[in-house]
Amino acid sequence: MNTLRLSTREEDLNIAGRIIRDGGLVAFPTETVYGLGADALNAEAVASVYRAKGRPSDNPMIVHIADATGLYELIEGGASGLSEEASKLITNLWPGPLTMVFRKSDIIPDVTTGGLDTVAVRMPSNPTARRLIRAAGRPIAAPSANLSGKPSPTTADDVLEDMNGRIDAVVMGEQCDVGIESTVLDLTGDIPYILRPGAVTREKLMSVLKRSVLYDSSLLERPDAIADPSEGVADTDFKPKSPGMKYKHYSPNASVKLIHGNAEEFREKAKAIGIEAMKRGEKVAILDYDNDPGKAAHKLFAELRELDRQGYSLILIRMLDEEGFGFSVMNRMLKSAGYDIVK
């Protein structure tokens, strides 16, 4: 298959929209990461997304819409099925990097939701993404546009590295602003649960809802046990409610190690580890994001991919404080590193 490179011009987005309506696959930029889009209501098209990514079929997709009214056909009970809390979140935080999980309506094929009776929906703020959804005239199911297990793509070139020849087209937009995937919030129970942390933080959600919001316990039950389990943990079983969270994720070919400490401590430790590794013949890269989660999120996945291209075999990264957005970015860093932390 020859993968078309499309621009963000109107005529190209119309071509992209038609490809999606015809059951094809188009990668496109959003403010979080590049998505690999298919018509969310076309079971065949969605099945081909799983194939293109090598994604396990029990890992459901996020359905993207351009307008809040597009939500009603997707959820149980339509417009009247929308809770007051969901409405508040939509008013305050959509469009943006927040995905909400609702009970699904019957029009959504099982394959889109990995067989669950719930559906995850997001309204992206990226103008190109919104224009594409409107051009398609369909809700667009889109996971990240990478091969399963690799760091998510945040540039069009990173998408092509994984997907060239596997999908119909790529909309060649800008580098993604946020750089990590959306916050996933489960609104189907009595208490809202964060299933995946993102740029919309727990603090932000609580300030909008004026009530407690919990992290799914799987986000804190982890090998390195750094997070304080008394802080916002859901008192439930340890199975992730978001099926995707259990898979190997965000892994470059290089080994990644995380290092604690302030700038100077990090430099010292990284230097010592780096010198030893270089003696063994490793090619070593050192990444310090100055404890700035916004900067780290924006650059992390793109840099991991670039370092792979340049043949680095070991990447040493300075850890962030796990507060606010820092918690979300550390979730990705820890997975990239397979929880390998230098104390």
181 makes contact with ligand AMP (CB under 6 A): yes
Burial class (CB in 10 A: 0-12, 13-18, 19+), 290: exposed
Shortest distance in whole angstroms from residue 253 CB to ligand AMP: 20
245 makes contact with ligand AMP (CB under 6 A): yes
Residue from the set 244, 252, 293, 326 that interacts with ligand AMP by CB under 6 A = 244
Strand partners, 37: 26
Residue from the set 24, 29, 37, 60 that interacts with ligand AMP by CB under 6 A = 60
What is the number of the residue whose Cβ is closest to ligand AMP?
A: 244
143 makes contact with ligand AMP (CB under 6 A): yes
Nearer Cβ to ligand AMP (15/140)? 140
Residue from the set 196, 202, 257, 305 that interacts with ligand AMP by CB under 6 A = 196
Shortest distance in whole angstroms from residue 278 CB to Mg ion: 33
Shortest distance in whole angstroms from residue 299 CB to ligand AMP: 19
Which of ligand AMP, Mg ion, none does residue 184 bind (CB under 5 to 8 Å by kind)? Answer: ligand AMP
The Cα 17–Cα 9 span in angstroms is: 12
Task: Give the residue from 121, 97, 251, 124 showing the smallest Cα distance to 181.
Answer: 97
Nearer Cβ to ligand AMP (234/316)? 234
User: If binding means CB under 6 A, how many residues of this protein chain bind ligand AMP?
Assistant: 21
What is the number of the residue whose Cβ is closest to Mg ion?
A: 144
Which of ligand AMP, Mg ion, none does residue 195 bind (CB under 5 to 8 Å by kind)? Answer: ligand AMP
144 makes contact with ligand AMP (CB under 6 A): yes
Write phi, then psi, for 85 (nearest 5 degrees). -65, -40
The interface with Mg ion within residues 236-295 (CB under 5 A) comprises none
200 makes contact with ligand AMP (CB under 6 A): no
Task: Give the residue from 137, 139, 178, 172 showing the smallest Cα distance to 157.
Answer: 172
74 makes contact with ligand AMP (CB under 6 A): no
Contacts of 185 (CB under 8 A, 6+ apart): 89, 98, 99, 100, 101, 192, 193, 194, 195, 200, 205, 213
300 makes contact with ligand AMP (CB under 6 A): no
Residue from the set 6, 98, 119, 330 that interacts with ligand AMP by CB under 6 A = 119
Which of ligand AMP, Mg ion, none does residue 86 bind (CB under 5 to 8 Å by kind)? Answer: none
Shortest distance in whole angstroms from residue 148 CB to Mg ion: 8
62 makes contact with ligand AMP (CB under 6 A): yes
159 makes contact with ligand AMP (CB under 6 A): no
144 makes contact with Mg ion (CB under 5 A): yes
The Cα 318–Cα 205 span in angstroms is: 28
243 makes contact with ligand AMP (CB under 6 A): yes
Nearer Cβ to ligand AMP (63/227)? 63
Residues that bind Mg ion (CB under 5 A): 144
Residues that bind ligand AMP in the complex, under the rule CB under 6 A? 59-62, 101, 113, 116, 118-120, 143-144, 181, 184, 195-196, 241-245
